[in-house]
Amino acid sequence: MAAAVTLLSLGAAGCGGGDNANGSTDSPAPPASEFPAANGKTLTQILKSSHATRSSLVVSPTAAVYGTGDNRFGFGVFTVSRQQVTDAKVAIYAAPSGGGKAIGPFPARIESLAVKPQFESQTTALDPTSAKIVYVTSMNFHRDGNWDLVAMFHDSNDYSATLIPTIKVGGSRNIPAVGQRPPRIHTPTVADVGGNVGQIDTRSPHDDMHKVDFADVLGKEPIVLIFATPALCQSRVCGPVVDVAEQVEHETGDGVDFIHMEVYNHNNASDGLRPQMRAFGLLTEPWVFVIDRKGIVRARIQGAFDATELTSAVRQVAG
């Protein structure tokens, strides 16, 4: 991607680098009008016309699968020393690789991954690198193929920008989409492992989302199925999102079966993905599928999410 899009200024700029005064909190997306309009320009032309300096921040997407049409695009923002930035005003621009016309800006809202104290696991609390927030926007890709991305930060009257690794749109059609029926997989329960929950749950303490087998309730009850491995997650978001699911289950989950499915055989990354992951066509995590009582996927979230977003999805199928 670096050959296709060049940040034109030699200067370096940063953006806020810490929690807001009250800690990590939700914030709405800034208006699109705060960022330069694409207006048929290439990414390079947008950067040049906006006089954006080179940002020292790093933007890391929380998802790896994208399709044509609307896509939820989540990402984290970090300093070069991997400290999380929780208060940036940022928008994403995208263009087909090779210098095509850009789309954007797509300003991002901030979703806090914080939960009420009784739902925060030791896995999350004792991990200083666990994610605190996620930036989320929606992007519409009009064709398959490789897309180049730029994140632009707005600080006072100045802009700075950083490149995001090129993404591939399309080619992941085995993952159940909204409106489709998922495969009928068996998810291990507490009874299946004789009460040894550690075999099927890396969270500490263990969550209570192992009561029912997905295969037994699919097409009968609403389901929230979360694929995540709190202790082994490379992106450091799995612990927080399982905490979020645990909170939402207790607050809004009456009549909805919440199921947490671990990712690796024997909870060991070197032993490969569990067959349930492969059946869903998943190579990354976390993923959440919200399924109605008819067995149809009504919401699908890839990567990190907050309690508000998950609660909204659950309400589509509850009752």
| 265-299 pLDDT tens trace | 999 999 999 999 999 999 999 999 999 999 999 99
Task: Looking at the structure, tell me whether residues 73 and 22 fall in a common domain.
Answer: yes
17 — pLDDT class (breaks 50, 70, 90) = very low
Task: Looking at the structure, tell me whether residues 23 and 149 fall in a common domain.
Answer: yes
The whole domain housing 133 covers 12-169
The pLDDT tens digits for 40-84 are 999 999 999 999 999 999 999 999 999 999 999 999 999 999 999
Instruction: Give residue 9's pLDDT.
Output: 36
What is the reported pTM?
Answer: 0.90
Task: Looking at the structure, tell me whether residues 134 and 209 fall in a common domain.
Answer: no
Residue 248 has pLDDT above 80, yes or no: yes
Residue type, 201: D
Residue type, 223: I
Residues 107-126, mean pLDDT to the nearest whole number: 97
Coil vs helix vs strand at 135: strand
Last residue of a domain, one of 149, 169, 189: 169
Closest CA to 138 of 105, 100, 175: 105
Residue 21 has pLDDT above 80, yes or no: no
Task: Looking at the structure, tell me whether residues 287 and 246 fall in a common domain.
Answer: yes
Task: Looking at the structure, tell me whether residues 91 and 228 fall in a common domain.
Answer: no
Q: Is the peptide bond before 105 cis (omega within 30 degrees of 0)?
A: yes
CB 264 within 8 A of CB 229: yes
14 — pLDDT class (breaks 50, 70, 90) = very low
DSSP state of 32: G
Please count the structural domains in the chain: 2
Helix, strand, coil share of the chain (percent; to 5): 20, 30, 50
Q: 198 — phi, psi (to 5°)?
A: -60, -20
Task: Looking at the structure, tell me whether residues 297 and 159 fall in a common domain.
Answer: no
Instruction: Give residue 299's pLDDT.
Output: 98
Residue 236 lies in a domain: yes
What is the CA angle 116-301-283, rounded to 5?
115
Residue 163 lies in a domain: yes
Q: How far apart are CA 299 and CA 312, in angstroms?
A: 10
Residue 23 has pLDDT above 90, yes or no: no
Residue 71 lies in a domain: yes
Q: Which of 17-21, 206-210, 258-262, 289-293 has the lowest mean pLDDT?
A: 17-21
Q: Which helix (H) or strand (E) holds 277?
A: helix 275-279
Task: Looking at the structure, tell me whether residues 220 and 139 fall in a common domain.
Answer: no
Q: Where residue 289 sits, what CATH number does that domain have?
A: 3.40.30.10
Residues 144-171, mean pLDDT to the nearest whole number: 95
Q: Which helix (H) or strand (E) holds 309?
A: helix 307-315
24 — pLDDT class (breaks 50, 70, 90) = low
CB 12 within 8 A of CB 80: no
Task: Looking at the structure, tell me whether residues 77 and 222 fall in a common domain.
Answer: no
Q: Which of 116-120, 123-127, 149-153, 169-173 has the lowest mean pLDDT?
A: 169-173
Task: Looking at the structure, tell me whether residues 16 and 165 fall in a common domain.
Answer: yes
Instruction: Give residue 127's pLDDT.
Output: 92
